[in-house]
Amino acid sequence: MPNLINKVYDRISFEDYEQTIKDNGAIFLGEGASRKGYKYKKSVIKIPHNEWGFQDNIIEAYAYNLYGRKPDENGYIFAPCKLLNNGCLLMVLVDRRPYKELPSWANYIDGGQCGIYNGRWVVYDSACDIRPLRFESTKWANVAECPNY
């Protein structure tokens, strides 16, 4: 179980952390509906910019904690990651590949967000696809579930 400092989404806390990593050389990769991604050394840091992003980080960390290097019941192999004590997600940097190269199971991942890490196909953004884990993941992280998630 992670030892989270933030038990709920706190915009100011995440904005401060975002500025800190940028000051330390993190490179902005992009942003989705609920999180921003930064490359830092050989990793990606996912910073939530709303409550859903906070929950997404928890779900992805929980899925990797639950399955590790083994596929889940759908055949998904999750990119190695860990939940930081502030609720951000630290994930390995994967080699993103063109959509036409993706394995068939990646068709079931939102946007085919899969890549290669250590010679294996892994999912690097799966929160939308594994939302059934939300109840277990919030208990695991000892946080309240986000309403309307």
Per-residue pLDDT band at 129 (split at 50, 70, 90): confident
Is the pLDDT assigned to residue 148 strictly greater than 70? Answer: no
Task: Give, for 121, the enclosing helix (H) or strand (E).
Answer: strand 120-123
Question: Which residue carries 């959509």 as its tokens?
Answer: 99
> Residue 4 has what pLDDT?
77
Cβ pair 14, 47 in contact under 8 A: yes
Is the pLDDT assigned to residue 122 strictly greater than 80? Answer: yes
Cβ pair 38, 29 in contact under 8 A: yes
How far from 64 is each of 18, 19, 48, 117, 122, CA to CA, in Å?
Answer: 24, 27, 18, 14, 11
Give the residue from 84, 92, 90 showing the smallest Cα distance to 123: 92
DSSP state of 140: H
User: Residue 114, Cβ neighbours under 10 Å: how many?
Assistant: 26
Cβ pair 29, 115 in contact under 8 A: no
Is the pLDDT assigned to residue 88 strictly greater than 80? Answer: yes
Question: Which residue carries 């939940």 as its tokens?
Answer: 83
Summarize pLDDT for 35-83 with one digit per residue, the tens.
999 999 999 999 999 999 999 999 999 999 999 999 998 889 999 999 9
* Region 128-143 average pLDDT: 87
> Residue 108 has what pLDDT?
81
This prediction has a pTM of 0.91
Beta bridge partners of 39: 27, 44
Of the ranges 32-41, 69-78, 97-106, 110-119, the best mean pLDDT one: 32-41
How high does pLDDT run on average in the chain? 90
